[in-house]
């Protein structure tokens, strides 16, 4: 039977197991939305406030489930509004299929109304992209998009569909089975044996892992390896939640704003086993100094990442879960008592430094004599005590993101959603909507007044969809992370980082149909949190935070562990 291209799109999405789409309609996808209306009992569409929010929602859907997130937008501005969300998914390896409409084929290249070359625009930020000009290729192109998005190192794929392809008719034969990813790449036995020899002969092993452990479903294997070879573990921002935060071998996030113990332990190791991580500049600082004292084994599914940022002494391309499982069988069970003692010293020193920094911050705040304020860690501790283990944590980008990454007790994979690679302010609320829609779970969004100001229009989506999200705004009245750099490296030249806005986020929440309240003391926050976690509608807690609170420790840009800043006099 002949059906329209628009109907083929919807039927193919359903065939691929897609149950929810995020998007925003427009002239060049109106046929597609008409077919979504006809199929509304089989596939759900979430209308967001903005296409960028839709892309972040598809991202949150994918990160929280491991499934492919799908987003739809019209041509021109609708398509370009997706770009930040697609780039965020690309840099963090999130499987996504973005579908855009375009003007009819005969109008392409004529500067037609709302025409843009979105395939050209997104070429550097997608795994692959397509423009479908023949309806006969439409279904298979979409299937290929899903296959690419899910295969190997996962990521976004864009499919651009001109208007006349959506309205054309074509024979369609349903394929009931979702596509299977391309075959895995398995690590060389010889290279794994070499890795085992290096591990067996080292005295101070250290495991550094990233988000590849989560997407590769290798959390248990990495933990088992650490226990067998007696190695401490640290991670990148994207690796958080892969391993329970209270595992005795886990030292936390490392790098520019990482934990003191993990950052120093890596530097003092004689062998670093890097798993599913790409050695971001935020994690390494100055590259020439980073690996000066240790040997590196790097295992990753993406061969392009090997030796890209940091040269490895032994680089192994392969599926992470399979590679680590085989490696565990090859290595000797070891104990490194001297190394364990040194790690214990570093953990104790970190605790002491953290407590000193918190005390100093409180004393500095008291000396100001200003209105009551909450410390960031105090906020996170109170919220985490009430949230329980079944919530998903989302963040925007800025100081609040790093405080959350440092402090929140993450214990299960896929419970921490943050824009790690792109660092997109405004990511959080869209991601929270997508994650809660996908899982039915409550989401806690930690945000700052700067980030929240970029995406608060998605409160409309959260209220409409009755998303149980608790939004914790760490409101310091400034663009905190940039201000911190101005404080430390620009002689306190606070150029355009003080908002001086009169926005009342609680009134904004109420205006959108949500609830909210202000909190400036621990008692006020506890009361607000109790109310928020019993609410069935989105709830905003606007927390007063001092503008001089800093995220520490910090490695200066292009600095090294030798330059680590743990306190400001």
- The reply to whether 481 belongs to the active site is yes
DSSP 539: E
The residue count of the chain comes to 569
Half-sphere exposure of 271 (CA within 13 A, CB side): 20
Say if CB 114 and CB 76 are below 8 A apart. Answer: yes
Residue-by-residue DSSP string for 246-303: T-TTEEEE-STT--HHHHHHHHH-SEEEEES----HHHHSSHHHHTSSSEEEEEES-G
Residue 55 in tokens: 């892309």
- Of the listed 44, 107, 114, 349, which one is catalytic? 114
Which candidate, 287, 286, 293, 288, places its Cα nearest to that of 270?
293
- The reply to whether 113 belongs to the active site is yes
- Of the listed 481, 505, 539, 554, which one is catalytic? 481
The C-alpha atoms of residue 231 and residue 328 are separated, in whole angstroms, by: 13
Which candidate, 418, 448, 454, 458, places its Cα nearest to that of 551?
448
- The reply to whether 51 belongs to the active site is yes
The C-alpha atoms of residue 418 and residue 450 are separated, in whole angstroms, by: 16
Tokens 């009819």, residue? 104
Q: SS3 for 386? A: helix
- Of the listed 11, 51, 266, 549, which one is catalytic? 51
The C-alpha atoms of residue 64 and residue 79 are separated, in whole angstroms, by: 24
- Of the listed 67, 147, 150, 163, which one is catalytic? 163
- Of the listed 2, 113, 364, 527, which one is catalytic? 113
Say if CB 386 and CB 436 are below 8 A apart. Answer: no
Beta-carbon contacts of residue 117 (< 8 Å; ≥ 6 apart): none
Q: Torsion angle, CA of 462/51/95/177, rounded to 10 degrees?
A: 90
Q: SS3 for 461? A: helix
Say if CB 247 and CB 224 are below 8 A apart. Answer: no
Beta-carbon contacts of residue 146 (< 8 Å; ≥ 6 apart): 16, 68, 97, 157, 178, 179
Active site residues: 51, 113-114, 163, 481
């Amino acid at each position: 039977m002949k059906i329209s291209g628009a109907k083929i799109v919807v039927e193919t999405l359903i065939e691929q197991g897609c149950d929810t789409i995020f998007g925003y309609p427009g002239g060049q996808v109106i046929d597609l939305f008409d077919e979504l209306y006809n199929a509304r009992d089989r596939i759900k569409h979430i209308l967001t406030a903005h296409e960028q929010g839709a892309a972040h929602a598809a991202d949150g859907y994918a990160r929280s489930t491991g499934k492919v997130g799908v987003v739809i937008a019209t041509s021109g501005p609708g398509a370009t509004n997706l770009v930040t969300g697609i780039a965020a998914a690309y840099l963090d390896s999130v499987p996504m299929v973005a579908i855009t409409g375009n003007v009819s084929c005969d109008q392409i290249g004529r500067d037609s109304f709302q025409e843009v070359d979105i395939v050209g625009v997104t070429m550097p930020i997608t795994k692959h992209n397509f423009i479908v000009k023949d309806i006969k290729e439409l279904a298979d192109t979409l299937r290929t998009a899903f296959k690419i998005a899910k295969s190997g190192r996962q990521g976004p794929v864009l499919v651009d569909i001109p208007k006349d392809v959506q309205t054309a008719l074509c024979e369609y034969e349903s394929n009931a089975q979702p596509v299977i990813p391309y075959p895995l790449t398995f690590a060389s036995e010889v290279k794994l044996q070499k890795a085992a020899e290096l591990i067996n002969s080292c005295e101070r092993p250290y495991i550094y892992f990233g988000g590849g452990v989560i997407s590769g479903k290798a959390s248990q294997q990495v933990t088992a390896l650490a226990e067998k070879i007696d190695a401490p573990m640290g991670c990148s921002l994207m690796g958080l939640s892969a391993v329970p935060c209270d595992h005795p071998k886990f030292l936390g996030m490392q790098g520019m704003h990482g934990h003191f113990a993990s950052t120093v332990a890596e530097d003092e190791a004689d062998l670093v086993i890097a798993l599913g991580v790409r050695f971001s500049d935020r994690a390494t600082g100055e590259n020439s100094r980073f690996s000066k004292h240790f040997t590196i084994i790097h295992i990753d599914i993406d061969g392009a990442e090997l030796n890209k940022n940091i040269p490895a002494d032994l680089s192994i391309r392969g599926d992470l879960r399979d590679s680590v499982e085989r490696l565990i069988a090859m290595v000797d069970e070891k104990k490194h008592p001297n190394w364990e003692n040194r790690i214990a010293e570093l953990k104790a020193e970190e605790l002491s430094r953290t407590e000193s920094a918190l005390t100093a911050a409180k004393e500095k705040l008291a000396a100001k004599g200003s209105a009551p304020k909450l410390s960031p860690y105090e906020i996170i501790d109170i919220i985490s005590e009430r949230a329980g283990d079944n919530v998903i944590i989302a963040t925007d980008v800025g100081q609040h993101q790093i405080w959350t990454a440092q402090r929140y007790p993450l214990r299960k994979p896929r419970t921490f959603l943050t824009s790690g690679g792109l660092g997109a302010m405004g990511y959080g609320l869209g991601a929270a909507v997508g994650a809660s829609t996908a899982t039915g779970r409550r989401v806690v969004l930690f945000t700052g007044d700067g980030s929240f100001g970029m995406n608060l229009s998605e409160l409309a989506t959260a209220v409409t969809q009755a998303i149980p999200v608790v939004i914790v705004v760490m409101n310091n009245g400034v663009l905190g992370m940039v201000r911190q750099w101005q404080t430390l490296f620009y002689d306190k030249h606070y150029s355009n980082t003080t908002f001086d806005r009169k926005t009342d986020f609680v009134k904004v929440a109420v205006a959108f149909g949500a609830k909210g309240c202000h909190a400036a003391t621990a008692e006020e926050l506890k009361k607000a949190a109790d109310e928020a976690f019993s609410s069935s509608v989105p709830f905003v807690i606007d927390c007063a935070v001092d503008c001089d609170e800093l995220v520490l420790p910090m490695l200066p840009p292009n600095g090294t562990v030798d330059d680590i800043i743990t306190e400001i006099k």
